[in-house]
Amino acid sequence: MSACKQALEEAGGEAEKALAVLQRESAKSAEKKADRVLGSGAIEAYVHNNKKVGVILEIKSESDFVSGNEEFRILAKDIAMHIAAARPRWIRRDDVPEETLEEERRFAAAQARNEGKPDKVIDKIVDGRVEKFYQDTVLYDQTFVNTDKFQGTVGEMVQAMAAQMGENIMVSQMARIGVGEAE
């Protein structure tokens, strides 16, 4: 209650601005908790109704209290369904091998040159295409597929749940298998 009151005071009584203040403060709180040990969690499995795509993931939390919570389980199921649909290759940007990033940069630069772009803008083009690469292939950078449920990235969704639960939460492992899909 006191956080809501302070946010309203800071926002001059405007509810939407107060909500933004609360979200900012929740994100700061979650960042402070990011180094805590994640000793609990759950394994979630999802098989699409056509039986041709399956996902298994590990999502961790600090306590059994959170990992046993129904909202935590729903989050895990939602992320597993997202993985089935969006096919991320890595969980976080740090997981992308440097060789893969370098190859992506070289490809983007060569593509820009082939398109006749001036040398002075190629670096910006490469940066933009690498950013798009992250959005396409990194789970936490992907826009959550069910926009009716959450509008933002999977990483923002996990962070929002961490703020709501008051402790750190993270996806630590994932695997997606599709019938007939080559690695």
Asked whether residue 85 falls in the same domain as residue 150, the answer is yes
Asked whether residue 18 falls in the same domain as residue 73, the answer is no
Asked whether residue 86 falls in the same domain as residue 72, the answer is yes
The total number of structural domains in the chain stands at 2
Domain that holds residue 43: 37-96+138-178
The Cα 90–Cα 174 span in angstroms is: 8
Asked whether residue 1 falls in the same domain as residue 27, the answer is yes
Asked whether residue 42 falls in the same domain as residue 89, the answer is yes
Q: In terms of Cα–Cα distance, which of 1, 19, 32, 3 is closest to 167? A: 32
The Cα 135–Cα 137 span in angstroms is: 6
Report which secondary-structure segment, H or E, holds 23: helix 15-32
pLDDT tens digits, one per residue of 5-22 = 776 677 787 777 777 766
Say if residue 152's pLDDT is above 80.
yes
Q: Which residue stretches of 68-141 are H helix?
A: 70-86, 98-114, 119-137
Asked whether residue 51 falls in the same domain as residue 25, the answer is no
Greater pLDDT, 10 or 167: 167
Asked whether residue 24 falls in the same domain as residue 50, the answer is no
Asked whether residue 48 falls in the same domain as residue 92, the answer is yes
CATH number reported for the structural domain that contains residue 153 in this entry: 3.30.479.20
Q: How is 54-82 classified by DSSP, letter by letter?
A: EEEEEEEES-HHHHTSHHHHHHHHHHHHH
Q: Which of 32-36, 55-59, 85-89, 105-109 has the lowest mean pLDDT?
A: 32-36
**pLDDT given at position 6:** 77
pLDDT tens digits, one per residue of 19-70 = 776 677 666 665 555 555 667 889 999 999 999 999 999 999 988 888 889 9
| Amino acid found at 49 | N
Q: Are 59 and 161 in contact (CB under 8 A)?
A: no
Asked whether residue 48 falls in the same domain as residue 91, the answer is yes
Beta-strand relationship, 53-61 and 169-178: antiparallel
Question: CA-CA distances (angstroms) from residue 177 to 46, 49, 170?
Answer: 10, 14, 21
Asked whether residue 92 falls in the same domain as residue 145, the answer is yes
Asked whether residue 91 falls in the same domain as residue 5, the answer is no
User: Own/partner pairs for 154-163, CB < 8 Å, 24+ apart?
Assistant: 154/79, 154/82, 155/92, 157/75, 157/78, 157/79, 158/75, 158/79, 159/27, 159/30, 160/26, 161/71, 161/72, 161/75, 162/30, 162/33, 163/23, 163/26, 163/27, 163/29, 163/30
**pLDDT given at position 37:** 62
Q: What is the pTM of this model?
A: 0.76
Q: What SS3 class is residue 177?
A: strand
Share of the chain above pLDDT 90, in %: 58
Asked whether residue 69 falls in the same domain as residue 155, the answer is yes
